[in-house]
Structures are given as C-alpha cells and as structure tokens.
C-alpha cells in the first residue's frame, strides 16, 4: 500500500498540501456514504441520499508505524461539504482504545467543529477555522464536522499505539449533533443518544 512506511525507526518526511491536504503518491482511506449507515440522525434522508449517489464523505491518510508509546502517527483529514437532512457531513468519530491518549488537530482550511465528549458526559465543540489548533485530551471521543462550503482540512497527530474504538460511537452516538436550522448552524442534543 502507498502509505506503508517501513522506516525501521529512521527519519522520514511526507508531503501534505497546506490548503487541500492531499498527499501526492499516497493512497488515502476513503469513507463513502454507504460506510456510514446509522451515523446520521435522519435515517430517511440518509437512505434517499445514498440512492442518489454513494458520495465520499471524508478521506484521510494513515501511516503504518510500529505501535509503541513513543511513536506518533500523523496525516491529514479531509471532510467534504454537504448535509444529510439537516446534519452536516462529519467523520464517524472515535475514542482511543488507550483511552487516556490525546490527539492534536491543526485546521489548514475550511470550517467546522471538533465535537468532543468523555464517557462521563462532559462535552465541547471547538470551532475549526484556518490556523486553529484543537486539543482533544485523553478520554474524549472526537469527530470532525464540516459546517462550511469548502472541504474541512486538518493535520492530526496522535500516539501510534492509541488505537481507534469506533464501536462505542456507532452504538451510542454522540450526545450532541451539529445541524442547520433556519440557515444557521446549531448544536442540538441528539434525540437518538443511548445511555448504554
């Protein structure tokens, strides 16, 4: 695969465009609408959007470094603009498997939010605008949401052994959604959120 960096612990470098986030000669991981079943609030809108087109919702670059607490993984995430019903395009979102490990996002272009919440229910939606670095501390699940009209591009870094727990969010959802109401973005409680 294009991103297989078998660097054997040696220095290396990779290019990511500072505006569109693309890495030449690298293969990104793509998330199509069909891969996001059950993630959006409005199921009917999801089904009818999918009938029209299995569009790409987001893509990101993955590295393949040894899973240790000393290595860091990094890359760019690109969330394309759009909505499913009133809900803005977003990533699936995840906890880290090693729960208490942080992640840093640096916004290169576009706008939106990093939605974060911890298991106890503390939550915060930090605004993404170009130049804004957002800190997702350990214990906080995080999801990128594009509320703009251009791709939302972020550069991210996290510990290589952190791991991704997508299952908890797939089952329970996030406690809050970002939707468009009367032409404006609004953060609302998720009516579908499950306590456990």
Report how far residue 97's alpha carbon sits from residue 109's, in angstroms, rounded to the nearest whole number.
29
Measuring CA to CA, how many Å separate 149 from each of 55, 88, 144? Answer: 16, 11, 15
How would you classify the pairing of strands 152-159 and 103-109? antiparallel
Select the span of 35-43, 51-59, 152-160, 176-184 touching its own copies (CB under 8 A): 152-160
Q: Which of residues 52-81 bind its own copies (CB under 8 A)?
A: 68-72, 74
Select the span of 14-22, 27-35, 50-58, 86-94 touching its own copies (CB under 8 A): 14-22
Burial class (CB within 10 angstroms; exposed 0-12, middle 13-18, buried 19+) of 1: exposed
Q: Is 3 in the site for its own copies (CB under 8 A)?
A: no
Report how far residue 136's alpha carbon sits from residue 26's, in angstroms, rounded to the nearest whole number.
26
Tell me which of 40, 79, 90, 103 binds its own copies, using CB under 8 A. Answer: 103
Identity of the residue, 57 or 94, whose beta carbon is nearer to its own copies in the bound complex = 94
Q: Is 40 in the site for its own copies (CB under 8 A)?
A: no
Identity of the residue, 69 or 150, whose beta carbon is nearer to its own copies in the bound complex = 69
For the record, the structure tokens of 185 come out as 């973005």
DSSP H or E run through 46: helix 43-52
Q: Is 183 in the site for its own copies (CB under 8 A)?
A: no
Closest listed residue to residue 126, CA positions, set 169, 165, 173, 178: 178
Select the span of 10-18, 26-34, 143-151, 188-196 touching its own copies (CB under 8 A): 10-18
Quick check: 21 and 78 in contact, CB under 8 A?
Answer: yes
Identity of the residue, 37 or 127, whose beta carbon is nearer to its own copies in the bound complex = 127
Tell me which of 132, 166, 185, 192 binds its own copies, using CB under 8 A. Answer: 132
> Which residues are near its own copies by CB under 8 A?
7, 9-18, 68-72, 74, 98, 100-104, 106, 108, 114, 116, 122, 124, 126-127, 130-140, 155, 157-159
């Amino acid at each position: 695969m294009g991103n297989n960096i078998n660097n054997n612990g040696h220095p290396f470098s990779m290019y990511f465009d500072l505006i569109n986030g693309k890495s030449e000669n690298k293969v990104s991981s793509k998330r199509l609408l069909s891969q996001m079943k059950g993630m959006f609030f409005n199921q009917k809108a999801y089904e009818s959007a999918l009938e029209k087109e299995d569009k790409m919702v987001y893509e990101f670059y993955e590295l393949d470094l040894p899973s240790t607490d000393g290595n860091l993984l990094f890359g760019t995430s690109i969330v394309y603009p759009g909505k499913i019903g009133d809900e803005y395009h977003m990533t699936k979102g995840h906890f880290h498997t090693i729960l208490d490990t942080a992640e840093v996002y640096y916004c290169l272009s576009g706008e939106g939010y990093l939605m974060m919440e911890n298991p106890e229910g503390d939550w915060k939606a930090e605004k993404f605008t170009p130049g804004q670095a957002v800190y997702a501390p350990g214990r906080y699940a995080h999801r990128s949401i594009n509320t703009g009209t251009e791709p939302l591009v972020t550069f991210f870094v996290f510990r290589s052994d952190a791991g991704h727990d997508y299952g908890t969010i797939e089952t329970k959802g996030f406690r809050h959604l970002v939707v468009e109401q009367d032409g404006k973005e609004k953060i609302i409680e998720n009516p579908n959120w499950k306590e456990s």
